[in-house]
Amino acid sequence: MKKKILIFLPDGVGLRNFAFTDFYKKMSVENDVVFLNNTGFPLEEKLGIKEVKLNNLKTHFLTDLIKSAKNNIELKQNFKKYNNKAYLSYIFPRKSKTFKQFVKNIIINFYIIFYNYKKGVKKINNKINKLERSTETYKKSLLLLKNEKPDLVFCTNQRPILALSTILAAKDLKIPTATFIFSWDNLPKATLVVETDYYFVWSNFMKEELQKYYPSIKENQIKITGTPQFEPHFNKDLLKLKEDFFNEYKLDLNKKYICFSGDDVTTSPYDEYYLQDLAEIVQILNKEGYNLGIIYRKCPVDFTGREDEILKKYNDIIFPINPKWENLGSSWNKVMPLKEDFNLLANTLKNSILVINIGSSMVFDAVIHNVPCAYINYNNNSVNTKLWDINKIYKFIHFKSMPSKKAVLWVDKKSDFEKIIRNVLKNDSTILETQKWFNKITFFPQEKASENIINEINKILS
């Protein structure tokens, strides 16, 4: 008899990994798989995936405030324990412009003051769990789980507070629970909100991180599987002929293209000026006889239009190819990828000679196509360093995973763009070092992640 797996999508983050890859198809061979879909994406209608829904999910009005306090406390304790100010850089200032914001901050500060000690986080977790068990969402979750009778609830993302009631309901019904750590930078940021029986991680490196920050989690609870997010790059069926891709996006077959991968406005508030710097360098190189262009792939959740003037000014050099995402709501976390974006991203990278950005995990997507990545590492003349300083970016904890500085190319000043581009055109790059980093960050072979997750789930079920 087939076991039943309930794959919980509390938000759109898990769509790419578990709905748009071959995970569902492979998982359904031996198991009955149903998605508990809390996104606005119609899985059954668009992809033929079985789904159930919990409508109008809400947390307790205090839960999100206490979660903010917990995050603050964990980061402060990690700063104290590891003597590294980078942990404090993950704490964002809170607004107090309205009376409502003022009251919320009083509540958050109360918990920070009175629970900032070794066992305080555990007490806060207990408080949050108690609050969530009193909600309508918890009651709805109990009813749904009793009706569905799953053998395992697998949450695709460890950080949404909205997932907590459903996970608690599963635990109270003695249903095994698991979650997936969805991003390479999550654990140092104290984003583990969902506590489950099992944790699926990208690599041995991430396993060590999980045990470092959460020593109460036992080794046998952690499953090293890799991440499905890179699997589509290995799918040759997604890769188009160069001529077809260039014709579709009106690119010049005689040009060599550099991909500038945009960041969100929080990570890189001066992104458009770096794009302009690159365009100016390409302009100089083209006057020397090079035939170069820039493919601009904007950040999917950047709605500012801040790059519009630059695109207009350099329309003979910069060619925007926007990611295929869909806005299903009024906030950034309602912007969700479409399955077609896998195809677009893979072909964009395959047809680029170089990817440039600020500290993005795009470095790993690129290396699969043997394309080097350059990280921007200087403050542009337009940067107000009192508000934002690029020197803070590469001090973030997740960059300590680099085997060496040679894992990427470094743009330490504007003129380095020129030197790097010339070297890349001569096939002089650090691609082997990048591959070492990729193999450290995510379990090798990377194209087998879905199969690894399925195998580990089946082991739990048996």
Write the CB contacts of 267 (distance below 8 Å, at least 6 apart in sequence). Answer: 358, 359, 393
Instruction: Tell me, rounded to whole angstroms, the distance of Cα 56 from its chain centroid.
Output: 25
Domain end among 76, 105, 130: 130
If one counts every other C-beta atom within 10 angstroms of the C-beta of residue 202, the result is 25
Give the CB-side neighbour count of residue 277, counting CA atoms within 13 A: 23
- In this structure, are 432 and 365 located in the same domain? yes
The set of residues, in sequence order, having a beta carbon less than 8 Å from that of 122 and lying 6+ positions away, is none
Burial class (CB in 10 A: 0-12, 13-18, 19+), 98: exposed
| CA–CA dist 433, 133 (Å, integer) | 48
CATH number of the domain where residue 46 is located: 3.40.50.2000
Cβ–Cβ < 8 Å for 140, 133 = no
Q: Report in angstroms the alpha-carbon separations of 361 from 62, 119, 230, 380, 401.
A: 34, 34, 11, 22, 12
Neighbours of 194 (CB within 10 A): 24
For residues 213 and 191, give the distance between their C-alpha atoms in angstroms, rounded to a whole number: 11
Residues 302 and 425 in one domain: yes
* Count: domains in the chain: 3
- The C-alpha atoms of residue 308 and residue 319 are separated, in whole angstroms, by 12
Residues 275 and 221 in one domain: no
* Integer angstrom CA distances of residue 301 from 275, 311, 332, 345, 432: 17, 18, 6, 16, 32
Closest by CA to 67, choosing from 224, 151, 210, 193, is 193
Q: What is the pTM of this model?
A: 0.95
- Alpha carbon distance 63, 125 (integer Å): 10
Domain boundary among 76, 99, 130: 130
Strand 198-201 versus strand 177-180 pairing type: parallel
Question: Which ranges constitute the DSSP H helices of 288-430?
Answer: 308-313, 340-350, 362-368, 416-425
Q: Looking at the structure, do residues 295 and 199 belong to the same domain, yes or no?
A: no
Q: Answer with the one of 130, 159, 188 that is the final residue of a domain.
A: 130
pLDDT at 334: 64
Range of the domain at 46: 3-59+135-227+446-461
d(CA 292, CA 317): 7
Let me know whether 246 and 361 are in one domain.
yes
Same domain, 343 and 382: yes
Question: Does 16 share its domain with 28?
Answer: yes
What strand order describes the sheet that includes 409-411? 318-320, 292-297, 256-261, 354-357, 373-376, 409-411
Domain co-membership, 105 together with 126: yes
**Share of the chain residues as helix, strand and coil, in percent rounded to the nearest 5:** 50, 15, 35
CA distances from residue 354 to 256, 282, 430, 433 in whole angstroms, order as listed: 9, 13, 11, 15
The helix/strand/coil state of 296 is strand
Collect contacts of 80-87 with beta carbons under 8 A, ≥24 apart.
Answer: 84/397, 85/395, 86/188, 86/395, 86/396, 86/397, 87/188, 87/397
Structure token digits, residue 255: 């040009």
For residues 141 and 219, membership in a common domain is answered with yes
Residues 24 and 172 in one domain: yes
- 270 and 369 belong to one structural domain: yes
Burial class (CB in 10 A: 0-12, 13-18, 19+), 85: exposed
107 and 174 fall within a common domain: no
Mean pLDDT, the chain cut into blocks of 10 residues (462 residues total) = 94 90 93 94 93 92 96 96 95 88 94 93 96 97 97 96 97 98 95 96 98 97 97 94 97 98 92 97 97 96 91 97 78 72 96 97 96 97 92 95 96 98 90 96 96 97 91
- The rounded distance, in Å, linking the Cα atoms of 355 and 282 is 14
Copy the structure tokens of residue 380.
Answer: 């542009």
Distance CA 260, CA 302 (A): 14
Encoded tokens for 198: 């099992």
